[in-house]
């Protein structure tokens, strides 16, 4: 039995209200995602919507070190624990450092330095 009393919002509800609702109802999924891609925003898609976005054509980079992201799908608006994240190519190095990048940078510095000695 549930009491019909006004309850205070918990942290989960507060978080839910903070988040942007995403695509406006009535706007086609595809054009909303293309709008995001044109704006060079991060695009997040759930497993069902993934195949509908040609990320290479839009010069995006798929996040592979974190194969799954918890987020709301930009197309179908479903919060999914198995979303894929696509970051604009020109922004990727500004916001993500991969193990490969870190390895290459350290190797480049120390290889040159030790060769000179």
Partner 1 sequence: MTGAYAIGGGKLCLKKYKMSATTQDPGILMIRSAANAAGQLSISTTTSLADTVGLLVDTGVYQGNVVEYSTTQGDPEAVASVIINPDLVLRILLVDSAANAAQTQGEITTAASNGLSLTTTTGVADYTSPQHDEGLVWYTSGGNASASRKITSTAATALTVIVPFAANAVGDTFLATPSNVGLQTGTLSTDLLNLRADLAPTGAAMSFVDFELNGATSSYAHFVATDHTFAVVT
Member of 6, 7, 57, 94 binding partner 1 (CB under 8 A): 94
Residue (of 70, 68, 34) closest to 54 by Cα position: 34
Number of residues that bind partner 1 (CB under 8 A): 41
Member of 22, 29, 58, 89 binding partner 1 (CB under 8 A): 22
* Gap between the Cα atoms of 30 and 18, Å rounded: 25
User: Is position 114 an interface residue for partner 1 (rule: CB under 8 A)?
Assistant: yes
Torsion sign (Cα): 31, 35, 60, 96: negative
User: Is position 66 an interface residue for partner 1 (rule: CB under 8 A)?
Assistant: yes
- To the nearest whole angstrom, how small is the minimum distance from the Cβ of residue 36 to partner 1? 9
State CA 44 to chain mean position distance.
5
């Amino acid at each position: 039995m549930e009491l019909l009393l006004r309850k205070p919002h918990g942290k989960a509800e507060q978080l839910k209200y903070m988040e942007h609702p995403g695509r406006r109802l009535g706007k086609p999924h595809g054009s909303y995602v293309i709008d995001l891609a044109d704006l060079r925003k991060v695009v997040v898609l759930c497993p069902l919507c993934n195949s509908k976005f040609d990320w290479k054509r839009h010069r995006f980079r798929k996040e592979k070190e974190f194969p799954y992201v918890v987020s709301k799908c930009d197309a179908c608006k479903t919060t999914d624990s198995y979303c894929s994240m696509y970051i604009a190519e020109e922004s990727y190095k500004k916001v993500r450092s991969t193990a490969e990048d870190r390895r290459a940078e350290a190797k480049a510095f120390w290889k040159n330095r030790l060769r000179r000695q």
